[in-house]
Every structure is written in C-alpha cells, then in structure tokens.
Structure 1
C-alpha cells in the first residue's frame, strides 16, 4: 500500500535544546496514553446523512485491566533471602507510598558501597507491605530506580517474570525491550494483549517490525486523516516506513526528550542519536559490535560507573585493540593496556611503571572500585616495592579481598594504620586527622545505632530503615559527620558489617568530593 506523505512544513518542526535529560523523564512515553478516567471526551465529528458509522480514531481504546485476584508483583526478586542475608519481612511493616518515595529519592551518584546496597534492596525477594495492592507500586519504584541506574538486564528479568499484564508494567517492559534488542518479544506480546493499549506509534512500529508494512502504512494514513498523530510523530513514522523517499533531505529535528521508540526508529532511518546526553539506560545501545570502538568504550565506562554492567565488559574493550588516537578514553585504554601487558609478563618493574598511570586514568573515569575488583588479585601476585607497593595496597583495599589484603600488610604510616583498622574492624588509632575519620572512629568504637532506625527494624521495616541509612550516609559524605556516624553505626548493628567497612574505606581512599 502506498504511503501518503505529509506536505506540511509543520511535520519538520521539533525541539532541540541540547540539555541533558533527567534520568527517568523518558520512561514509558513510548506507549503512554491518556487516563480514560480523566481524559476529556473526544468531540464527535459530524457525519453526513446516510453515511455508515465509522471509528473516530485508529487507536486501540485505553483500558486499564487488573485481572480478578491478580497478585501483586511486589514480592518478586532476583536475589533470595539466603543470598542477600535480609529477611523476607524486609518491607512488611512499611507503607508502600513511603517506600516508593524513598527509593525514588535515593542518590545514584554516591559511593559504590551505597549503590551496591541499594541494588541488593532493589533485587531482593521479599514479602510485600501489608498494604500492597495488585498495582505493584513498590515493584514499579524498584524497576524505575534500576532504569535510573542503567541496569537494564535485571530490570528485564524482573519485568519478564511478571508476564506484564497491565499498562504500567508493559510500558516499562516495552521500553527496556527497545533498548536491549528484545523488541520482537514486546511486539508479540502487544499483539496478543490489545488491552495493554499502546500508542499508535508503538503499534505502527510493531506492525513494521513483524513485516506487515501495508498494515502499518494503512494505520498511519488513517490516523493522519483523523488527526490522531502529531506533526512530529507523523514525520518520524513516515520516514520510518519509507526512508528511501527522504534520501538527501536534512535530518529531522532532535526532540527535547527522545523516547526509546524515537531512538530505535531514528536508528532505523539512519539518523541515530548520540547517547551521551541521553539517560544512561540508552548507553546499552552503544555496546553493540556494530558501533565504533570509541562509542562502545564511552558507553561501557558510563555504565560501569553505576554498576550497571560487569567491569569485565569494559576492561575487555580497553584491551580490544591499540588506540590510534590520544586524549580522554583513548589515553585510558592505552594506560590499561600497558598495565595489562606488564601483568601478563609478570614484570614487576614494568608493572611499577604502568600502575600509576592506570590508576590516574581510573580516577579520571571514577571507576576505581571496578578497576580494583578486577585487577587487585593480579597485582597481589607481583612483588612490588616502594611507592608501587603502597599504591597496590591502596587499590587492594578497594577490592573484594580488602580484609585479607589489610591483614597481610605491615602499616608504614599512620594513614595505613587507619585503613587497616577499618578494613579489619579493629579499634581505630587516635587521634584521627580528618573529620570523616573521626566520624568513622566514633561509629566503629561501638556507638549505638539511632533509636529511630532500630525501632523500624523491630516493626518489620528493615528495608525502610536501610534506605534512610543510605540517605544518612550520603549526607555524611557531603559534610555532616553526625549523619555519617549514625549510618555506619546502623549498618554494623543490623549485620551489614561488610557494607560499613567498604563504605568507610571508600570514603577514606577515594578522596572524592560529594
């Protein structure tokens, strides 16, 4: 079927501000639709006398469906209590709205120890709050924070486990599918569940995706005739369905808030958007082998920084080939390659020469902990001396083997003695030289955890208390020593000793401005 092309210049209008998007502004816009309970009723069009009734819109009616007896997805998780060490009653005594608000407010630009703890909470399998309903408000808040972090794979696993059966779940399922190359699954589900009510753009995309181009064109032509698509949607969909007709014409204006569907369709017409100013979830698209090495490196750094992909992905890319240029990410790749070559040769002198440059590069990228987790075990096998040995020790304290590495070290300075005490949970030396060290010392010397948080624990509100303690720690990192002490004391009191030690070490070792 021929596609009728729009003639109006309005089809080319758009927004291009160049401002970075906030992390979740894009979420679900791909398949959003007006709330049928609040949307204004459509004004009926006059019908000539004798003409048969016709549909007023090409869109599938918006229907919100919750099956009778539908179970809440809130209990779903990827980490069992035996893995997390957290009880099933993690959320039981809390109010759903409170938990959702706390999760949404948690910072993600924090130390890795806090981000790792937040991720455990997001993925934990636990009983829902007593007030939880089938809408899964807590589950959705957890999914949204995973998307904020850019952790699309666990988000997908959780969403797929729900068999998304309502619009709120499906919107997220559809967007994650688009960003991870699983759009075929989402389109098949959409076709079998019309009550999920996608927008016309999503329906047309899926019709084209399965190869039914005539139906896609007919749907667009009908929607255009009925005024059910905006000029911007019309322009993009028209090019998507017949891109050859637009060869040689200027690209479409970039919208202020591209959705995953915008992103995929623009990619399909050869007008791919840069992901650098988009939410980090979009960076997954740049990890594909079809992209250039630089784009893949930048995307991997961005995602590893948030713990959204395994650090091995990034370091595999760093060593993929020799950089042909210099500056920024190329310099980091070269520094890692030099260190990797020295480590492979078991050449202590070469390692000592390459390690400072590699560490400086990782500091610039703010991925020191990922670097330590991956390379500290290899560094431990090299007999280093002097400044190189001191640096390797510091890196080792940021790794998973921090306690073992600390016990094997004879401290050479007061600073190292402090680090070792934190890593092993031993009494801290006195007097601390910095405000953070003093706050850490107070917590590690047995200061009781705040009553307000411990009361929550006794009320089956442990998850809520941990979320509040994470926020306290972030306040402490920003200069509130009392909040820092309270957070660390709480973590230790509820058995999160490893988290407390890691967080304290990272605060002391990374010397990172809040």
Structure 2
C-alpha cells in the first residue's frame, strides 16, 4: 500500500518549532505573484579574430545561415556522463511510490496534469498532491534534463503555500537557472532567508538581477551608496518605472518621507514589493494576498492573533505541520472572545483534559463545533488523535469522528464500542463497508464506490510505466466526483484503490462523509 502521511512528516521536520515562529500544449503559466526579480543577461556573440562584421546579439527568431538548401546528415549519439538525478525530498521508502513514477511520461503532460489539480479540496487529496510533488523519483526519460515538470512541482507547492517544502526542493535541485532562481528568491523573501539569496545573486553571473532586486540586495548588504547609484541610474535610463522608483527611494531613505502620503498598494503584489513596504514602515495585511504571503505573519514579531489567523489559513491547505498550528493555539491564554479565540480555548480545553487524564468527550465536542466550519479540524485531529486514542476514552460520537480524521482511523474502527456507534463509518475505515447499512447521505455512494470497477485505461497507463500520470489523471476524475458527479466519484475512487493508494482512498472517503 502506498503510504500517506509523508508530507506531514516532512513538514514537521522542516517547519520551525511550534512555539516559534490541453496536455499537448505548454504547461500552465507560472504563479502570478512571483517577482520579476531576475532576468537572463544579454550575451554578445564574439566574432573570430579578423572578422569585419560587428558583434551583435542575434534576433531570437533569426534563421540560421546556410550555403544551400540541403539538409545535413546529423549523427546523434548520447554523450557519456552521469545519469540525470532523481530530484525530490521523499524517497520511495517514505511514500511507497515507485522510483519509475514518471519515467515513461512526457514532462509537458505531467506538468499540465499537476498544475491543473484543484487544491481547494479535501485534506487527504491536498496531501497526496503535495506528496507527488515532493516524491524523489526518476525523471521522464523523454527529456530527463528538462526542468518543465520539476518547475511545475515547485509551482504546485507554492500554490499550496508550502514554502518550506518548495524551498527545500529548490535547493535540492539547485536554483541555477533564472526561472528557478526567481522562485527561490521569492520564497526566501517570504521565509526571511533573503540574505543567502542576495549573496547568490552576486556569485552567479549568468543570473542577472533586475534593478529593483539588485538595489534591495545592495541595501541588505549595507552598501547604501551603490544602491542609491543603481537607483538613480535605473531611473535615468528608464529601467525603473515611477511607482517602483518611489518605493525604492523610500526604501533607501524612509525618514525623508515621514510626512508624505502612504504609497498606493501595487497589484499584483510580489514578495519583493511586500518586503520593501514592510521595510519603509508601511506593512501590508496578508489577507487578500496569495496564501503564501501568510508565512510572513508567522514570525515572532507579529501579533498573536495575526499569527493564529495565518496558521489557520495555511493549515487549511496542509501547508504547515499540525504541531505548528497547535503550538500557536497553546502559546498563551486568550484575553478576548469570539472567532479564533474560541478555537484557542477549545484546543486548550482538550489539551488540558488529556494532560489531566480526564474524559475528553466534552472538549472534543466543543473543538469539533469550533474547528470544523473553518477547515482546521483535520490537522487538529492528526495532532490529537493518537493522544485521544491512547487515553482509552469511552465510546462517543464526536470522539469517534475525530479519530476517524486522524492517522488512527483504522485502529479506532477496530474498537468494538466505537464501531457500534456507526458501523458504516467503521467499515469504511477498515476498507470494506459492503455489509453495513447505508443509512445517511453519501453512504450509498461511498458503498458503491468500494464495489466499483477501476478505469481500465488508467490501469493500462500505469502498467506502461506511467503510474504517476495515471494517479494525476485519476485525482482529476475523483475531484470531479467530489464536486457532484457520482459516476466520476465511483470510477476515480475505485481506480485510486487499484493503483495502490488504499490508505488515501479510505481517508478521502471518511473526509467526504464527515466534512462535506
């Protein structure tokens, strides 16, 4: 069985401590909030010694020169050298996915399929998408050195808001091209590690910073005169537009503009602009911006309420580890009421009950009521589920539901007292609800999905060495089913199980029944 929980385990390792802070076409466009922070430098073509034609940069669409119209015979052989690397953070021993996951697929097809996945979906599906993006598997054979699919994997992590995972994958790959570097640069800006990115800009001549990025990095290194000179030169040459120039001017000397009106917030907002607004004393709210910006509100210099709201937003996408969310909830005692403070109290009540070895049923009921509607009950169940089950609680409906959303779902379903509360849910958790009565909405659909036949073309694709492609296509079908197409639900669910993703399938079914 292909393992789940790999992404959560990785996030726990790479996140700060909880108490701190058409497939044949080109891939879908990159995320629109990335900074244009680097550019490909213009390189002159050097003429041979004694040539009379001046040096120039050939036009991108210029045809090569030839003496006649005869096509030359070209002998193509693979060059010797090391095999292309399998780039990823989670090996097959962790994920259960095969090393040949992507080998026989076309990278452009994989990129389109991955980028098209809906991430506003059930948590188990979010986790599987992230696991596929992080899996260390052999690259597609058709273009092993191409970065098309690797870039799509990174962009999907960025879309989820999983910045630490994206940053680690970028560093494992080596951000040595302009497109990869600008992603690393932006992630560094939002995670507070921009000094390393700025150093790399000065050490990597084939990656040219835009004037704004160059000025920002010069200032970060304390070279204010060079930063000012670069700004004035850029303005004089028209390389820096007026709005950017105004922001950079204030960035270099904010004290000169104390009495001036606040600058207009640009659209789209980029990480570089966001950080400069913060530096001039005009920090911008992250609400309304892409969820990736919420990481800036996890820093210890940000207020506790803003930290909590940012953590909840990221936890809904599975972009931070559950222990980070719980660590913020339990950081201190709330001094207000309503909203996030009630969830803070509910978490504290459950934590207190478990610590004091009291029956957690009442605390779980409150937590379910407060956390489910805002989409954070699953990460809380992942964190507290093992502790709750270890406490050997009396059978209770809310406790059973919480356990079914945790990694201990099957263990809970094997407890006779819990299983008696809802035999159908217990059957789903054990992988066979065929003999249980489908008494509630959705139960009959899930029961028929367990008995459905998988899509034969997806199984053929998997047998052709394109198992990753088959999984991505199946996820799209299953999402269509979650959105209301019952036939797609049955087909996608049955195929997911046939592809070896039994654990994910069961958790998807349980979340579908309990959360939709």
Is the counterpart of residue 491 in structure 1 residue 496 in structure 2?
Answer: yes
Separation in structure 2 between the aligned mates of residue 486 and residue 499 of structure 1, nearest angstrom = 15
User: Which residue of structure 2 aligns with residue 505 of structure 1?
Assistant: 510
Give 1:313 deviation, angstroms.
1.0
For residues 392-418 of structure 1, give each alpha carbon's deviation from its aligned partner in whole angstroms, at most 9, with x where no partner exists. Answer: 0111111101111100134676x7111
- Change over 3 Å in CA distance of 1:379–1:23 after alignment to 2: farther
Which residue pairs with 1:326 in the alignment?
337
Equivalence map 1:113-512=2 (5 Å): 113-132=124-143, 134-348=145-359, 351-382=360-391, 384-385=393-394, 389-410=396-417, 416-429=422-435, 432-433=438-439, 436-445=442-451, 447-510=452-515, 512=516
Q: 1:298 to 1:266 in 2, by over 3 A?
A: same
- Residue in structure 1 matched with residue 15 of structure 2 by the alignment: none
Indicate the residue corresponding to 2:74 in structure 1: none
In structure 2, the residue matched to 1:7 is none
- Kindly state the Cα deviation for residue 145 of structure 1 after the two structures are TM-superposed: 0.4
Q: TM-score, normalised by structure 1?
A: 0.84
Bigger shift: residues 290-299 or 488-497: 488-497
1:269-317 deviation per Cα after TM superposition (whole angstroms, max 9, x unaligned): 1111111111111111110110000010011111111111111111111
Deviation at 1:471, TM superposition (A): 1.2
Structure 1 unmatched ranges of 5 or more: 1-21, 38-61, 63-67
Distance 2:389 2:111 in 1: 43
Judge which range, 465-474 or 332-341, deviates more. 332-341
Residue 73 (structure 1) shift: 7.7
Which one of the candidate residues 37, 42, 55 is aligned to 1:31? 37
Structure 1 outlier segments of 4+, above 4 Å: 32-37, 68-74, 381-386
What's the offset of the Cα at 1:384?
A: 4.6
Flag the 1:507–1:72 CA change in 2: closer, same or farther, 3 A.
farther
CA distance in 1 between partners of 2:440 and 2:364 (Å): 27
Alpha-carbon distance between aligned partners in 1 of 2:40 and 2:241, rounded to the nearest angstrom: 15
After superposition, the Cα gap between the structure-2 partners of 1:339 and 1:430, relative to the gap in structure 1 and judged at 3 Å, is closer
Cα distance in 1 for residues equivalent to 2:424 and 2:447: 9
Q: Distance in 1 between matches of 2:394 and 2:30?
A: 45
**1:109 aligns with one of 120, 123, 130:** 120
Shift of 1:380: 2.4
Q: CA deviation at 1:247?
A: 1.2
Query: Would the alpha carbon gap of residues 393 and 411 (structure 1) be closer, same or farther in structure 2, given more than 3 Å must change?
Result: closer
TM-score normalised by the chain length of structure 2: 0.83
